[in-house]
Amino acid sequence: MSFYRLLFSAGIISGALLFTACSSSHRGPTPRKPMDTHGKSAEFIRGAEDGCATANGDYTKDHEAFNTNVQYHEGWFAGRRYCQL
- Tens of pLDDT, residues 40-58: 999 999 999 999 999 999 9
Question: Residue 56 domain-assigned?
Answer: yes
Question: Residue 16 domain-assigned?
Answer: no
Question: Residue 50 domain-assigned?
Answer: yes
Stretch 45-74: mean pLDDT: 96
* Structural domain count, the chain: 1
Question: Residue 51 domain-assigned?
Answer: yes
Total Cβ atoms within 10 A of residue 14: 10
Question: Residue 33 domain-assigned?
Answer: no
Do 32 and 50 touch, CB atoms closer than 8 A? no
pTM: 0.62
Which residues form the domain of 81? 39-85
Question: Residue 47 domain-assigned?
Answer: yes
Question: Residue 63 domain-assigned?
Answer: yes
More confident residue, 49 or 21: 49
Per-residue pLDDT, 16 = 61
Question: Residue 5 domain-assigned?
Answer: no
Do 44 and 75 touch, CB atoms closer than 8 A? yes
